[in-house]
Amino acid sequence: MSLDTADAERHTLKMQKRKAVQDAEVASKTIEKGLIMVHTGAGKGKSTAAFGLILRALGHGWKIGVVQFIKGAWDTGEQRALAVAFPDHVTWRAMGEGFTWETQDKARDMAAAAAAWAEAQALMADPAYRLIVLDEINIALRYDYLDLAAVLAALAAKRPDLTVVLTGRNAKPELIDVADLVTEMTLVKHPFKAGVKAQAGIEF
Amino acid sequence: MSLDTADAERHTLKMQKRKAVQDAEVASKTIEKGLIMVHTGAGKGKSTAAFGLILRALGHGWKIGVVQFIKGAWDTGEQRALAVAFPDHVTWRAMGEGFTWETQDKARDMAAAAAAWAEAQALMADPAYRLIVLDEINIALRYDYLDLAAVLAALAAKRPDLTVVLTGRNAKPELIDVADLVTEMTLVKHPFKAGVKAQAGIEF
């Protein structure tokens, strides 16, 4: 693609103006604190983005806790990679027992959610951790397997420098209210619909 | 929360039915192949979910290539963590020169995009790689710094077992058409709006 001189000059002027706006914008943001982040929606990428955040935090030497509310002790790529590469920096608690249609036992699902929440509270109370991922906790909240008020109270009482990421579809409005950052992963197109199966390296 | 016997039995019956539906659904998905994945939208998590996917793929021993179209040789947590832990499995090419309002030079931006695309083509042609992340390529496509037809042709010609993830807001409709999986990260709430600055471990 070619570029004439007038076009190049117009571009430079436009970008100089834009830089002034951007710089003022950046300068106006001065608060530093741990965040409450929510990844919700029906699309793919809610847990995966939390795992990407773990990778980023590891590069800064943070210690990280993960509590999985639905997934049990499955062999996933992300868990294996972290166990091999960062055994001292990541505490991974897969406390779930699988999907509700696998356990077919509500009392057991509720007990698993309570145990996972106890683990989450212990990790959040430990000042060694800077990032806690509560994976699929929104599912447990949605089915009332967990008490929303207890979760909100724990988030309100967290150390200011602790970041907590809560994932899962159908996030409760009260959780969205208290969150600093909320992303909805929206499903535009999914390969399952075209007959593609869940595959190692992509889905788990 | 308490649970009476009738409730527990209703739950079990409902979940048995749901499991039958789920099992039939899973059995109907038989295709295995590398995917074309697009992460777009104005929300956070597009690149981060791609990095989470890298972590997952590393757990399965895959070799991975990353080409960044906008970010240059900045010191990010994700890149540092991967360089330390998986130097032989991840090839990371930060080919950008920064945001358009930083370079203020369209010819330079276009040259950087062309160089990044050459690198992307080389990695896609190398059968050692199972996953290629083209980070922020949608930005380069949107500004016509890259030829969309060339990118679509390369995707159409890719090895069937290669997964390519293309990130960045404003994905072109033609790219969405050829993708297997498209997630739109929708901005619900962002801490920048509340005066929180970009922070290490969270934003980079």
pLDDT of A190-203, one tens digit each? 888 788 889 998 99
pLDDT of residue B178: 96
Span B108-132, average pLDDT:
96
Min Cα–Cα distance to chain A from B41, Å: 9
Chain A residue with Cα closest to B15 = A101
Q: How far is CA B28 from CA A190, A198, B14, B21, B25, in A?
A: 15, 11, 22, 11, 5
- Comparing A185-189, B117-121, B150-154, the range with the smallest average pLDDT is A185-189
CA distance A100 to A102: 5
Residue B88 clears pLDDT 90, i.e. is over it: yes
Instruction: Find, among B49, B167, A71, B102, the residue nearest to B175 by Cα.
Output: B167
pLDDT of residue B72: 83
Min Cα–Cα distance to chain A from B87, Å: 11
The residue with greater pLDDT, A73 or B56, is B56
In chain A (204 residues long), the average pLDDT of successive 10-residue segments reads 80 92 88 95 96 96 96 87 95 88 88 96 98 97 96 98 97 97 94 86 90
Q: Where are the domains of chain B?
A: 33-194
Contact assignment for A180 to B189 by CB distance below 8 Å: yes
Residue B29 clears pLDDT 90, i.e. is over it: no
CA distance B113 to B116: 5
CA distance B87 to B77: 14
Selecting from A12, A32, A176 the residue whose C-beta is nearest the C-beta of B189 gives A176
Q: Are B155 and B124 in contact (CB under 8 A)?
A: no
pLDDT of residue A118: 98
Span B177-181, average pLDDT:
96
Chain A residue with Cα closest to B130 = A201
Write out the H or E segment, with its range, that includes residue A24. Answer: helix A5-27
* Ranges A8-22, A62-76, B91-105, B123-137, most confident: B123-137
For strands B181-189 and A181-189, give the pairing.
Answer: antiparallel
Tens digits of per-residue pLDDT, B7-24? 899 999 999 999 999 899
Tens digits of per-residue pLDDT, B34-52? 999 999 999 999 999 999 9
CA distance A130 to A132: 7
**CATH no., domain A33-194:** 3.40.50.300
CA distance A190 to A95: 28
CA distance A66 to B24: 32
Residue B171 clears pLDDT 80, i.e. is over it: yes
pLDDT of residue A110: 92
CA distance A136 to A46: 9
